[in-house]
Amino acid sequence: MAFIRKFIISTWNSATITSWFNFSSTILSGILLLPLASKYLSIEELSFWLLLSIFSNLNQLADFGFNSSFVRSIAHAYGGESSILIYRNKASIRNNNLKPNWEFLFKIFSTTNFIYFFLAILFSLLIGLIGFYGLQKSINLLTDPMQGWICLLVVISSLFMKIFGNKYQIFLEGINLVSVVQRNKGLINSITIILASISLITQSSLLNLVILQQFGALLIIFSLYLKTKSYIRLNSLSHYKKASVSDKKIIYSLFPIAWRTWIGVLMSYGLLQFSGIILAQYETSALIVAYLFSIKIFEILKGFSNVPFYSQIPKMNILFIKKEFQKLNSIFKLRGSMTTIIFTLSAMIIGLFNVYLFNYFDINIELLNFDLWLVLSLAFLLERYGALHIQFLTLSNNIIWHIANGITGLLYVLLFIIFNKLDYELVESISFSFFLANLLFYFWYPAIKSYRFYKLNFIKLELFVSFPPILIILLSIFLNFYFD
């Protein structure tokens, strides 16, 4: 009984397992909500809903890079740091205080109030304008265009609250309570998907679907607010919270770090997401759905495979500031290899057997053909590899996101123009450009920086991180060629 009890507690508090539980709700959306949407919504409504999901998830761009910067700063303060510094090498870390610096930590947390209220207003207005012009064509194709405009308004209103409420997730993740965040998000997301699925079956309403999804997002914010408030009360930290105010010095220290991060996110995630909006202006609804659905599957696989590594980032931030580099390197090798292997294996299984899988789950949508799927799989794998090294280096506040993603983004745009001039299909232009941009710069530049900073052993690391995915891809190409 003691073993079972220990196992349950360990699972309950595991950042990785609870993160996978949260991402299982995303998979539930793919195998339950998505097939139902393809069945009960018209092709125009389905296309609009997939496009709308892009806008709904753009809160990842709304924080101007402050999200990860605040989490990292709170984690450093939790590890004992008393200021926000950029560490150019391992020797520059001089923190010897192993106790949490609560006074500095709550100064950082209080600063998030001002920053995120401002960002919520600014980004909601910006997305409102982009949505008004970018979704006009899709909305006008709906049987009831007014319903489309109401859906957009609901998403933008929810986006404001999601951005402003990010501060609670930042606090909890910064003090390494990742499991608390992921448990709450996973539970609420799962319930939301089930209720949305029931709504689709009983009412076939696009508007009800969107309202339920956004209401679930707001419930997550409220639950994290309650968890933050509870932690502060149980640990008798209210006096720190009351005494702290927004600190301009913290904003000035974080801004150079944050904007570099944001440029990187914009030039990677942003470009790929906006490619779907661009495609919607030119191509037929069926092709839009095939591309958007493929990208949505890749986003699910990327998120799921990221869990082993990304769930450890708050812990890695604390280990970094405490100078425990042997543990840090071990986590990077083990969790990095799990990320690349899980992504590659799942992408290849879907690429090879999607017809059988979709028939089994009654999904009435086709993916892109295997050749394009393979190109996008390679592109996302290269992106994941580069992102692992960027995240590892970012523990030091030494930000290269703007360089890595900026140059890669420019290459993507340039290559897209070239392929388009050569009369390639738009989907082909997007896919080839994304792959080549990552190959030419993104996957190797961050790795070089990371290797130099941490003095990593190339053979020992790549034997785990790179070699298995390469074998999986080669085997998949052979199987596709053999059974085609």
Query: Closest Cα to residue 199, out of 384, 418, 56, 36?
Result: 36
Give residue 317's pLDDT band: very low, low, confident or very high (50, 70, 90). Answer: confident
Tens of pLDDT along 53-99? Answer: 777 766 666 666 677 888 888 888 888 887 777 777 776 666 656 68
Q: Is the pLDDT of residue 276 over 90?
A: no
Q: What span, in angstroms and rounded, lies between the C-alpha atoms of 367 and 354?
A: 8
275-307: b (≥16 Cβ within 10 Å) or e:
bbbebbeebebebbbbbbbbbbbbbbbbbbbbb
Tell me the CB-side half-sphere exposure of residue 57, using CA atoms within 13 A: 18
Q: What span, in angstroms and rounded, lies between the C-alpha atoms of 123 and 64?
A: 10
Tens of pLDDT along 217-229? Answer: 899 999 999 999 9
What pLDDT is recorded for position 96? Answer: 57
- The stretch 265-277 carries a mean pLDDT of 65
- Burial (0-12, 13-18, 19+ Cβ within 10 Å), 56: buried
Q: What span, in angstroms and rounded, lies between the C-alpha atoms of 30 and 34?
A: 5
Please compute Rg for the chain using Cα positions.
22
Which range is least confidently modeled, 197-211, 224-238, 361-375?
Answer: 361-375
Q: What span, in angstroms and rounded, lies between the C-alpha atoms of 173 and 168?
A: 9
| pLDDT above 90: percentage of residues in the chain | 25
Q: What span, in angstroms and rounded, lies between the C-alpha atoms of 41 and 427?
A: 24
> Over the chain, what is the mean pLDDT?
83
Tens of pLDDT along 153-201? Answer: 888 888 888 888 888 999 999 888 888 999 999 999 999 999 999 999 9
Q: What span, in angstroms and rounded, lies between the C-alpha atoms of 21 and 23?
A: 5
Give residue 203's pLDDT band: very low, low, confident or very high (50, 70, 90). Answer: confident
Query: Residues, the chain, total?
Result: 484
Per-residue CA distances from 308 to 18, 105, 322, 335 (Å): 11, 26, 22, 5
Query: Position 156: which residue type?
Result: I
219-243: b (≥16 Cβ within 10 Å) or e:
bbbebbeebbeeebeeeeeeebbee
- The stretch 276-300 carries a mean pLDDT of 71
The torsion angle over the Cα atoms of residues 34, 36, 37 and 43, rounded to 10 degrees, is 110
Query: Closest Cα to residue 407, out of 200, 264, 239, 237?
Result: 264
Q: Is the pLDDT of residue 394 over 70?
A: yes
* Cβ contact 405:267 at 8 Å: yes
The DSSP output letter for 90 is: G
H helix and E strand count, the chain: 24, 0
Query: Closest Cα to residue 301, out of 370, 268, 347?
Result: 347
Q: What span, in angstroms and rounded, lies between the C-alpha atoms of 125 and 229?
A: 30
What pLDDT is recorded for position 481? Answer: 82
Per-residue CA distances from 379 to 12, 267, 268, 374, 472 (Å): 35, 15, 12, 8, 15
